[in-house]
Amino acid sequence: MGTEDRGQAWTLRAALLMAAAGSAIALSGCSQTSRETTGSIQRPGLARSLDKMTASQLDGAVRTYGAAYERNPKDKQTGVAFATALQMTGRNDQSLAVMQQVAIAHPKDRDVLSAYGKALAAAGDLEKALETVRRAQTQDSPDWRLFSAEGAILDQLGRPDQARDLYRKALDLQPNEPSVLSNLGMSYILANDLPSAETYLSRAVSQPGADSRVRQNLALVVGLQGRFDEAERIASAELSPEDATANVAYLRKMLAQQNTWSMLKDKGEAPKS
């Protein structure tokens, strides 16, 4: 497949690298919508949510949001959407710069602080990301999305027990929320406890509102256990047959290489073929 035709085939590959490298925050974060996954942000002029776009469509979204941001850099929804699109195209430093400006304009806004924390984490500044997300949380009116975002950062910092406590707090506030269940499943992938990960991801997929990323995370954990045909069936429920096949072929190749899991976990990058 060419770069522009890969479509959603990035999803499983990105999830594998994120899980192995401890970057589960990229699958969480607080959006302006009722869903936690920021890839679901939509704005006028864009007919598809970001996580359903091809590479060329994501580039177009970056241009569209970028133009809107230049016209009004203080608009919170535009800024968060632009930063999210930048992250999804790997431009984490620029995404952070955008969120820094939005946070200056909205220093007490919880949604902005959460998105800023996500941008900090994506750029590798985990301690500041943790501080920012915690600053956005309030004891008198706790936000389940912030608990989940904080948990994802703690997972990256190697503190899984604390992370899972926060995911469960989030679920107490928002029972069966698929994005939180997915983060909990990814936490167990990081610990290489694949059966537990599958349990939570299966539960997440069964919930109303579960989006494409949750399904692809389930395909990931099933594939990591060697059940490639099943992983392909799960992935192809929302991907094109070509992209689902490509994802599973990629996973097979990754796992066929010696010490792939430990290599990824140590370095956070794909082995060179």
Superfamily of domain 3-267: Tetratricopeptide repeat domain (1.25.40.10)
CB atoms under 10 Å from CB of 110, counted, come to 18
Question: Whose CA is closest to 95, among 75, 115, 110, 109?
Answer: 115
- Let me know: does 49 contact 11? Beta carbons within 8 Å: no
Rg of the chain, C-alpha, whole Å: 17
DSSP H/E element including 233? helix 228-236
The pLDDT profile of the chain, 273 residues, written as one tens digit per residue, is 444 334 344 444 445 444 433 333 333 333 333 333 333 344 444 434 676 677 788 889 899 999 999 999 999 999 999 999 999 888 999 999 999 999 999 998 988 998 999 899 989 899 999 999 999 898 899 999 899 999 999 998 999 999 999 999 999 999 999 999 999 999 998 888 999 999 999 999 999 988 878 888 898 899 888 888 898 888 877 767 777 777 777 767 766 654 554 544 444 443 333
**Does this model's pTM top 0.75?**
no
The C-alpha atoms of residue 149 and residue 160 are separated, in whole angstroms, by: 13
For the record, the structure tokens of 143 come out as 């936000």
| Dihedral in degrees, nearest 10, Cα atoms 251, 255, 256, 259 | 150
Ramachandran class of 244: left when φ > 0, alpha when ψ lies in -120 to 50, beta otherwise: alpha
Judging by beta carbons within 10 Å of its beta carbon (0-12, 13-18, 19+), is residue 259 exposed, middle or buried?
Answer: exposed
Number of H helices, E strands in the chain: 14, 0
Domain extents in the chain: 3-267
d(Cα 184, Cα 162) in Å, to the nearest integer? 12
Question: What was the pLDDT predicted at 67?
Answer: 95
Q: List CB contacts of 233: < 8 A, sequence separation 6 or more.
A: none
**Which pLDDT belongs to residue 205?**
94
Q: Which residue has the tokens 């956070």?
A: 268
Give the closest residue to 36 by CA, choosing from 188, 121, 149.
Answer: 149
